[in-house]
Chain A
Amino acid sequence: MSAFKRKRGGQAHVGKKAKKVKFVADGGEAAVEAEQEKRNEGKWTNKERVLIFSSRGINFRTRHLMQDLRTMMPHSKADTKMDRKDKLFVVNEVCEIKNCNKCLFFEAKKKQDLYMWISNSPHGPSAKFLVQNIHTLAELKMTGNCLKGSRPLLSFDPKFDKEPHYALLKELFTQTFSTPRYHPKSQPFVDHVFTFTIADNRIWFRNYQIIEEDASLVEVGPRFVLNLIKVFQGSFGGPTLYENPDFQSPNMHRREIRLAAAARVREKQMVKEMQKMKRTEAKEDLARDVTADVFLTPADEKPVHIQTEAPEPKMVKKNKHKAFKRQRMKMW
Chain B
Amino acid sequence: MIEKLLKKKNLQEAFSKGLLKPGMNVLVDKPKKLVNNVEGMKQCLAGLRKDLPWVERLDLTNPPAEDVIFKAEGKAPTASKGDVNADDDFQREMFFYRQAQATVLEALPLLNKHGISTKRPDDYFAEMAKSDQHMQKIRKKLISKQLILEKSEKAKKLREQRKFGKKVQVEVIQKRQKEKKAMMTAVKKYQKGMTDKLDFLEGDKKTSKDSSQGPKKAVTKKGSNAKRKYKDQKFGFGGKKSGKKWNTKESYNDVSGFRAKVAHAKSGKGGKKGKGGGGGKQNKRPGKSVRKKMKSRS
A: which residues have CB within 8 A of B?
20-23, 25, 27, 35, 46, 71-72, 120, 123-125, 137-138, 140, 143, 145-149, 151-161, 164-165, 167-168, 170-172, 174-175, 178, 180-181, 187-191, 193, 195, 197, 199-200, 202, 204, 206, 208, 210, 213, 215, 217, 220-221, 231, 233, 239-245
Contact = CB atoms under 8 A, between A and B. Distances in A.
A171 B129 CA distance: 26
B45 A168 contact: yes
B135 A165 contact: no
A178 B59 contact: yes
Nearest to A234: B44
A200 B129 contact: no
A72 B128 CA distance: 10
Contact of A195 (B82, B87, B96, B133): B96
B164 interface: no
Contact of B84 (A164, A199, A217): A199
A147 B57 CA distance: 18
A21 B44 contact: no
Nearest to A154: B59
A123 B118 CA distance: 36
A240 B44 CA distance: 12
Given A120-B48, A153-B104, A245 B99 contact: no
Contacts of A178: 56-59
B34 interface: yes
A26 B22 CA distance: 81
7 smallest A-B Cβ distances: which pairs?
A200-B86, A155-B103, A154-B59, A215-B104, A156-B61, A215-B101, A164-B41
Contact of B126 (A138, A148, A193): A148
B40 A233 contact: yes
Contacts of B137: 140
Contacts, number: 200
Interface of B: 34-38, 40-42, 44-45, 47-50, 52, 55-63, 65, 82-87, 92, 95-97, 99-105, 107-108, 111, 116-120, 123-135, 137-138, 141-142
Given A168-B41, A241-B41, A160 B97 contact: no
Contacts of B124: 20-21
Contacts of B42: 164
15 contacts: A23-B127, A124-B44, A138-B134, A148-B129, A153-B60, A155-B61, A157-B99, A175-B48, A189-B116, A195-B96, A199-B86, A215-B105, A220-B129, A240-B35, A241-B41
B242 to A, nearest CB: 48
A159 B101 CA distance: 17
